Structure 1
Amino acid sequence: MTSPSPEPPRVAVRGEAHLEAEPETARITVTVNARGRDRRSALDDLTRRNAAALDLIKSHGDAVERLETGHLTITPELSERGRGERVRTHHGHVQITAVLSDFTLLGELTTRLADLELTRVDGPWWALRPDSPARTQVRRQAVREAVQRAREYAEALGSTLTGLIDIADIGTEHAEPRVRTAPRAPGYGAPAENTPPPALDLEPQRQHLYAQVTARFTMTPPHL
């Protein structure tokens, strides 16, 4: 009766990679506000200001990759004095999200939006697309790092790698910086001037990608 062949020795390693890449998109959030003594006047003002913001964003054409309308509210404000419930005024706001791929127009658009009446601008939030080549590149680097590390361990024992048992993706982390700019918003209490404001100089923020994998390999018997 022959004894079973011994299992080949194994080596388990972790591969890690870090990559910096230029962002591919920039997202801004625009909040349009309105206030009126009655619900209808608040709605009319909100509709007008929302249309102005949308028209301004759309005027930038293909530079705007995505445009979405989000949260909308109309809220009555009750008077603090007097008996009973009396509506003092109505507040309304609507939120717009725009994603741009042409950063040369981003500074101009941001300042022109912030110059509209009762309009707030938040952002930009820089990002990579889900199918960005940078994500593929950082994962490949993590795999190559795992293979190289396993080969070095094997060579230190006088062995060579003979095969791959398995490889597991621990995760690709995208540390997306969230940067908020505060453009001038003269609309809060004052009409916007006819002369467009100077464009902000917005420098794209590099994106940091991290990838980790674990891998197990078989190797020839070591020379100890």
Structure 2
Amino acid sequence: MTQTLFQHGTLALLVPGLLTGTLTIKELLEHGDTGIGTGEGLDGELIILDGIVYQVQSTGHIQQVTPDFTVPFANVHFANYRSLATFNELNQEQTYHQLSDLIKAPNTFYSVKITGTFAKMHTRAAAKSQPPYATLLATAQQQREFQANNVQGTLLSYYSPQLFHGAAVAGYHSHFLAADKTTIGGHVLDFVLTTGQVQVQIFDTLQQHLPIDNSDFMQHDFTKDNINADISQAE
């Protein structure tokens, strides 16, 4: 059975500040029940679990979004994970290293879901900006960071091959949501895992969807942008 990752937009289009929402959540959920993304104007961080879309705002408040909420960028897929392992007492670098060693799929996309207890969780969420939008780096500076200790929850990550850096961010791109849906969430900056059940889903198909009805995207000259460096710095 084909395993498809659906991606709307690219990280590269965020670099020059093409932050207009170009797909609704209702449309996005036609392509998956699990995923991550951001809202129009980098309006917080999204994590999608079991078909429910949670938005972590820059205030730290976590809420569900409406079907007409729009996104400039998101990854989604229909969950069909398989159990991989139980991880204990690992920091972020050790976790990602062990994942890569066990999965052995550096040249394709896959998703990892870790459900468990985290001794430390450090996340961020960007504040929504208004048009005319600034660049990704400028907008990302208007973010809030959050930390929690001994928190239970779900870390949802997408791995992208180095070949696709720009379309996505090479390596692991992770979002987190606390089990109580209130304590902490957002784009993951750092963590220490106490214990967690690890699941993986490897994709053989990338469905890349582009906002061709958006004139700013269609007419923008990306050769003038420092895409790789700006994505690496912002992420």
TM-score when scaled to structure 2? 0.19
The answer to which structure has the higher helix fraction is 1
Which protein has greater RCO, CA pairs closer than 8 Å, 6+ apart?
A: 1
Higher alpha-carbon Rg: 1
